[in-house]
Structure 1
Amino acid sequence: MITQELNRLGFNHEDIRFARKCCLLRLSRGVYVAKHVCAVETHRPLWAGIEDSTFEAYPEYGDMRDEVTKLDAAVMARCEQQFQRRQSGSGDGTEPSDGETASSSSGTEVISHISAAIIHGLPLASPVTHQVEVVRPGINRRFANLHVRGTPIPKHHQGTIRGMRVTTLERTLVDVARAYSLEVSVAMIDDALHRHLTTPEKILTVLGQAVEKRNTKKVRRALELADGRRESPAESIAAVRFYEHGIHGMSPQVSFVIDEAGTQIRVDFCHRQARLIVEIDGLGKLYLGSGVPREELERERRREQWLRDRGWQVIRISWKELFSEAKFEEIKLAIMRSETAAAASAR
């Protein structure tokens, strides 16, 4: 919600300042979100929607997901803020944010990059920015919570979602791959391919049409590494780490038939020659399925034991370990040992 909406609900400047100490979170200048239901009755208009389940309470995880959630809320608030300006005109009292004037963004702004990815429902592997990102022709400026880029965006690279102009899915993927790390861009491309939202050919076509040519090789590298078989950002990050460490031959989402009834188990990555399985434990993975971590752990243990009994080595990588060297050196060593053993037996 924006300051204008709070004013219409009867909250003045002092009321808003008090609510920020309680149940109201400030995302940027003039942009807020209700965090939870509180005990102050006068704050009911802020969180009534949470109480009657019209919308959910602002989630807090205690990890990096909090930053992603905050950016998501800021992007949605930006869309609402711009919608209000277009509906009532720049002179309606809507509070401009981050030092801009109300007229500076009217009619020209296109949501782009990470912010557009959020609107398209793409996953953000890590909180790489706290700023809402937009494009306005000929303007390059950074405010506290807003990043304005001046790169021209062709009309056919724009669409409308929730009343806001947004870069198309393919253009968004190209822009993110050009501006951010492989772990961020590959996770988004993998997700879009996995859900059959686009194809590599369509992304390459948009890349060729873009005026900007900076980091084109980086975009192509992200496309080369992308694979729609992967099912989570954690798996995508692992694939990027394999590339960075020179590890080849890791096939994603390989299935094994475990009984005569045809029951199957699937593993995240499999290196058949080395008889090596790599499983990635992303954030919250053990809370999927049954919803009970202990049951999920037991199921994972039984799967691993089945594989080990048949001569497979299983290496698990936690979310934290994705960003360190040790596990990937262990994987490289396992593959090297298998290659050495294969060479010796061939003599």
Structure 2
Amino acid sequence: MYKIMTTQQIIRLGFTHADIRRARSCCVRRLSRGVYSVRHVCSREDHRPLWASIDEGTHSEFTEHGDIRDQIEDLDAAVMARCEVRFQKQGQQERQAESATTAGATAATRMSSASPPAEVFSHISAALIHGLPIAYPVTHQVEVVRPGVNRRFKSIHVRGVTIPRHHRQAVRGTEVTTLERTLIDVARTYNPDISVSMLDNALHRGLTTREKILATLAQCLETRNTKKVHLALDLADARRESPAESIAAVRFFQHGFVGFVPQVEFDTASLRSNIRVDFCHRAARMIVEIDGLGKLYLGSGVPRDELERERRREQWLRDQGWRVIRISWKELFTEAKFEEIRRILMGTR
């Protein structure tokens, strides 16, 4: 989690507005008006109050990957910034309410009428708050729900629907749609590869069940795109371990491929460990491996070592008579690899 701070919080630490401007060229990043994130630990000791929690491991540095993940990180930071603003306003309102109570009912009524409308984080923003993966950027806007309001601003998308109390929960000091309602809303609104990625992750981690999601769906007043929700649930599989695998499974469905089983393990005697593959099609003697973003930088942390390990795995599979198809992240969004798979499958029929 990144460290998010408002101007008031930074000033309470002893900084001035001029100090904040200077810190923005060093270790602080402006997210929105009056809201900042601390990017990293710097060499300036006078900035320690800003980045001490990063140095202690309580918060994370703001990582830049140089690819599409940065857009998702930016949106996550924007959502966290709005959460922090809402939390600060809530605290301010509570303090004002306490003061108003002592000042009389008239002042209390005035405070209540000045309060901002109820706001619930939803859709992709709620998914980020729940820690669900976003397969690829689909919006740059923070998504919230306010009763009776439908508006799009530069950085916020407001939907005017009413979320029942039992479809909301408090997270990070703010209101957000429940995990099940979030999964349903995303499935209604976005492409299956986005929603299936989230469903696979939530089911794989044991955060929810199909039964809970279906029960929540039955309680929704909204009926728009309900078939999309059922399709996403039909495509979801708790065995998949990454958004890239989920997208591949959606592509298999879209191309009419059947028979691909995820996360199949092979016993090996010559290698130090068993081999587990992303997808196995036994009838076609075909293995499909998906290279998601940053895959070769996981594990040992040394891409060359990972490449060598992958080479040995593939050679063992080929020696056993399996055809191995590797699909890169970019190739998930093109046709060539899937046409190659189609030709192989047609040759087995």
Give the drift of 1:9. Answer: 3.0
Structure 2: unaligned runs, 5 residues or longer: 97-112
Which amino acid in the other structure matches residue 213 of structure 1?
Answer: T
Give the drift of 1:231. Answer: 0.6
Give the drift of 1:237. Answer: 0.7
1:129 is aligned to: 139
1:54 to 58, 66, 69: 58
**What do the CA deviations read for 1:9-66 (whole angstroms, capped 9, x no partner)?**
3444444333333322122222210112334554443323333433221111111111
- CA distance in structure 1 between the aligned counterparts of 2:218 and 2:45, rounded to whole angstroms: 57
1:304 to 305, 309, 314: 314
Give the drift of 1:290. Answer: 2.4
- CA distance in structure 1 between the aligned counterparts of 2:30 and 2:114, rounded to whole angstroms: 20
- CA distance in structure 2 between the aligned counterparts of 1:24 and 1:293, rounded to whole angstroms: 31
- CA distance in structure 1 between the aligned counterparts of 2:333 and 2:34, rounded to whole angstroms: 36
2:115 is aligned to: 103
Residue 227 (structure 2) pairs with residue 217 (structure 1): yes
Percent identity between the two aligned chains: 66
1:281 is aligned to: 291
Residue 80 (structure 2) pairs with residue 76 (structure 1): yes
Q: 1:260 to 1:63 in 2, by over 3 A?
A: closer
Q: 1:121 to 1:210 in 2, by over 3 A?
A: same
Q: 1:71 to 1:287 in 2, by over 3 A?
A: same
Which amino acid in the other structure matches residue 142 of structure 1?
Answer: R
1:203 is aligned to: 213
Residue 202 (structure 2) pairs with residue 186 (structure 1): no
- CA distance in structure 1 between the aligned counterparts of 2:50 and 2:327, rounded to whole angstroms: 42
Aligned residues: 329
2:102 is aligned to: none
1:176 is aligned to: 186
Moved more, 133-142 or 258-267: 258-267
1:342 is aligned to: none
- CA distance in structure 2 between the aligned counterparts of 1:141 and 1:205, rounded to whole angstroms: 30
**What do the CA deviations read for 1:142-187 (whole angstroms, capped 9, x no partner)?**
2222221111111111111222221111100000111111111000
Give the drift of 1:8. Answer: 2.2
2:341 is aligned to: 331
Matched ranges for 1:140-289 at <5 A? 140-259=150-269, 264-289=274-299
Moved more, 25-34 or 223-232: 25-34
Equivalent residue of 1:338, what SS? Answer: coil
**What do the CA deviations read for 1:175-216 (whole angstroms, capped 9, x no partner)?**
011111111100000011111211112211211211111111
**What do the CA deviations read for 1:107-163 (whole angstroms, capped 9, x no partner)?**
x21111111111111111112122221111111122222221111111111111222
TM-score calculated relative to the size of structure 2: 0.88
1:120 is aligned to: 130
Say whether the 8 Å CA contact 1:192–1:198 is kept in structure 2. Answer: yes
Equivalent residue of 1:291, what SS? Answer: coil
- CA distance in structure 2 between the aligned counterparts of 1:130 and 1:19, rounded to whole angstroms: 26
Which amino acid in the other structure matches residue 308 of structure 1?
Answer: R
Q: 1:260 to 1:322 in 2, by over 3 A?
A: closer
Structure 1: unaligned runs, 5 residues or longer: 93-100, 340-347
Equivalent residue of 1:89, what SS? Answer: helix
Give the drift of 1:266. Answer: 0.9
Q: 1:217 to 1:41 in 2, by over 3 A?
A: same
2:71 to 67, 74, 84: 67
TM-score calculated relative to the size of structure 1: 0.88
- CA distance in structure 2 between the aligned counterparts of 1:296 and 1:331, rounded to whole angstroms: 25
Residue 13 (structure 2) pairs with residue 9 (structure 1): yes
- CA distance in structure 1 between the aligned counterparts of 2:45 and 2:264, rounded to whole angstroms: 55
Equivalent residue of 1:147, what SS? Answer: strand
2:104 is aligned to: none
Which amino acid in the other structure matches residue 115 of structure 2?
Answer: S
